[in-house]
Amino acid sequence: MAHNLRDISSFNEEEMDAFLASFDTVLTDCDGVLWIGNTPLEGSVQVINRFKELGKKVFLVSNNCISTVNQYMRKIKKFGLHVTEDEVIIPTLVAISYLKEQNLKKKAYILSSSAMKEMLESSDIICSSDVGPDHAVKNVEEFKAEIQNLDQEVGAVVVDFDANINYIKMMKAVLHLRDPQCLFVAGATDVFVPAEDVTVIGPGCFISTIEMLSGRKAVVAGKPGSLIKDFISKRHPLNPERTLMIGDSISTDMQLATNCGFQKLLVLSGFSALEDTKEDSTNLPHYYAKTLGHLLPLLPSI
């Protein structure tokens, strides 16, 4: 095992006190850390609630835009997490904030879920496209005609998880991005997405293709993009050294923490395994735990 990677659940009281004294803000991933799908992970909710009772500022930082914040709040309440709406961060919020800051006056061409569309529209961003499938074509001539059928009022391309993403939509995104004024925002850039019993192609694969063909680079609203840090900083002063990032993914959560200079706690209840840390020395966590719930018996009670 690489040096300095410490199993937090083996800490004695003194070590736990030093650990708790080392941060005042906690960012935690959700799926794979607090719950898996619709099943909460034992003890994890209590650990987050205890952190809050101990005076820590907590943000839930998910990369999943297929739910609205309102839908997240229903889950959070159901699981007994004491987290408020403004403590929930998803890429949709970061993307909206970026598009507003860039003063987008035109429409957004979106390849995303209906939840993302709903949140963009609630923020007065007009979506050019619908979230269903695009037109089907019979042959190459129809394909060429369809991809040239571009909405001239588009000023931004936004790509996240879109269950109906297809060739025509991707080509339209590429063609919109020929205009250097057209903004380009990616939500999650995950290449694989574990979805309970099956791992599906992540939006990152489609984003890479659009990037390559357009010669453009997307601004990343999700983890591990550091835009998320600026977004949180506007709500709450972040001292990176005194911020703890908890996550189950080395490539998103630990990478975000590396990018931002946060402390890193990897939990093994989700995407990444302990041996994966050997393959990415840049994103080596400071701590690990089998599950977040394993910390509960070690935390001081109030």
Q: Which residues are documented as binding site for substrate? A: 62-64, 223
The residue with tokens 């690489």 is: 2
Q: How far, in Å, are 20, 208, 261 from residue 64 at the CA level?
A: 28, 18, 23
Smallest gap, in angstroms, from Cβ of residue 142 to a copy of itself? 7
Give the per-residue contact string, 88-127, with a copy of itself (x = CB under 8 A; - = no). Answer: -------------------------xx-------------
Quick check: 290 and 269 in contact, CB under 8 A? yes
Pairing relationship of beta strands 57-61 and 39-40 according to DSSP bridges: unpaired
Q: Which is nearer to a copy of itself, 2 or 198 (CB)?
A: 198
Q: Which residues are catalytic?
A: 29, 31
Does 166 bind a copy of itself (CB under 8 A)? Our answer is yes
Q: Which of 97, 106, 143, 240 binds a copy of itself (CB under 8 A)?
A: 143
Quick check: 245 and 263 in contact, CB under 8 A? yes
What does the alpha-carbon distance between residue 52 and residue 71 come to, in Å, rounded to a whole number?
A: 22
Does 168 bind a copy of itself (CB under 8 A)? Our answer is yes
Does 188 bind a copy of itself (CB under 8 A)? Our answer is no
Q: Which of 5, 54, 126, 205 binds a copy of itself (CB under 8 A)?
A: 205
Does 171 bind a copy of itself (CB under 8 A)? Our answer is yes
- CB contact set of 41 (below 8 Å; sequence gap of 6+): 33, 34, 35, 269, 291, 292, 293
Q: How many CB atoms lie within 10 A of CB 92?
A: 29
What does the alpha-carbon distance between residue 172 and residue 170 come to, in Å, rounded to a whole number?
A: 5
Q: Which is nearer to a copy of itself, 113 or 249 (CB)?
A: 113
**Binding footprint of a copy of itself on the chain (CB under 8 A):** 66, 113-114, 132-133, 136-140, 142-144, 147-148, 161-168, 170-171, 174-175, 191-192, 195-196, 198-201, 205-206, 209, 212-213
